[in-house]
Amino acid sequence: MDVLGYLLTGATSAAIIKLLDNLLIWLLNRRAAKMDRSEERAAAAQLSEDKWKTDTERSVQELKDGLRIIMLDRIRYLGYAYLKDGEIDYDDRKYLNEMHGVYHNSLGGNGDLDMLMQSVNDLPLKQR
């Protein structure tokens, strides 16, 4: 009977150890799966953020391009109007030069208006 008891106790101990081993492996696999899902979500969120950033940068550049074209047209129109009049008011010249500065420096104008602006700046000032 003692041998049978030892066998049963040994078998029981082995079964408990095997059960604990399986439980530990299951818990580790579950934890790894959760981490994988978390990493996948983080990667997807990063891709989404990168796409948003790229789309926003593209939209800002498109707005700058549109504004540059509008300012080019407005500066040309006003410049030719002042040249036609043959004179310019001090404040008008100041604001036109400020517009040209923004167009040329901030929005990346290419120098198309430099000669026109030189001609406008050479105009005599209107007397009030």
Q: What does the pLDDT look like over 30-74, one tens digit per residue?
A: 888 888 888 888 877 777 887 888 888 999 999 999 999 999 999
d(CA 77, CA 70): 11
Task: Judge residue 32's burial from the number of C-beta atoms within 10 Å of its C-beta, 0-12 exposed, 13-18 middle, 19 or more buried.
Answer: exposed
Residue 54 lies in a domain: yes
Q: At what angle do helices 2-85 and 90-101 cross, to 10 degrees?
A: 150
The average confidence (pLDDT) of the chain is: 85
Q: Is the pTM of this model over 0.85?
A: no
Residue 19 lies in a domain: yes
Residue 128 lies in a domain: no
Structural domains of the chain, count: 1
The answer, yes or no, to whether residue 121 has pLDDT greater than 90, is: yes
CB 78 within 8 A of CB 123: no
The answer, yes or no, to whether residue 6 has pLDDT greater than 70, is: no
d(CA 78, CA 80): 6
Residue 127 lies in a domain: no
Which pLDDT belongs to residue 119?
A: 95
Sequence-distant contacts of 54-61: CB under 8 A, at least 24 apart: none
Parent domain of 14: 2-121
The answer, yes or no, to whether residue 79 has pLDDT greater than 80, is: yes
